[in-house]
Amino acid sequence: MKKQESILKQFKIDKEWTLFLDRDGVINKKIENDYVKSWSEFKFIDGVIEALRILQDIFGRIIIITNQRGIGRGLMSEQELLEIHNNMINILSFYDVKIDGIYYCPHDYEKEICNCRKPKPGLAYKAKENFPEIDFKKSFMVGDSISDMEFGKSLGMYTVFISKSRNATNNLIDSTFYSLLDFVVELKK
């Protein structure tokens, strides 16, 4: 990872800032070559709840932005996705963690032309409609794919790449961390 001063000190992050998070691979364990299609398949990544509890004290808003191509491919229904999100929110609420919004793209990129599938910015603009105070230049995008980084960079966000390799390099990546909790440790320095 690049040598850097504390991100908090570098940006003076406060409650005016927004944290955008991808879901699969950042909040819950990603199922390789498949999709989380039901609540029984959803598993929080170790340390995520603790990380989110700390992050909500730093950022003014936490927004989840997620591509859910499994709906467009007919592998799950929109209702099943909403059940997953409702259960996730209920568990996070139990631990006093508040997610301000969840925005998802249900489209299959091979069949649909839309403006909401990351890296396209449609989901961010939808969030801004609900939270007009969002300033994309005072926002972070945390994700585990290059399309997440493209999404963030296209809007002027600081991008954080979650990867098992701390050596991930790409001009779209501002910082790389092993996990959301690893990112929080850096923020708290």
Q: What pLDDT, in 10s, does the model give residues 67-112?
A: 999 999 999 999 999 999 999 999 999 999 999 999 999 998 766 6
Which pLDDT does position 164 carry in this prediction?
84
Domain of 93 in residue numbering reads as: 7-187
Residues of the chain with pLDDT under 70: 1-9, 110-112, 166-168
Which residues fall within 8 angstroms of residue 121, CB to CB, at 6 or more apart?
A: 115, 151, 154, 155
Q: Is 2 part of any domain?
A: no
Q: Which residues are catalytic?
A: 22, 24
Read off the tokens for 138: 């005072």
CATH code of the domain covering residue 17: 3.40.50.1000
Taking a C-beta distance cutoff of 8 angstroms, is the pair 158, 170 a contact? no
Q: What is the CA radius of gyration of the chain?
A: 16
What amino acid is encoded at 169 in this protein? T
Q: Does residue 1 fall inside a structural domain?
A: no
* Count of structural domains within the chain: 1
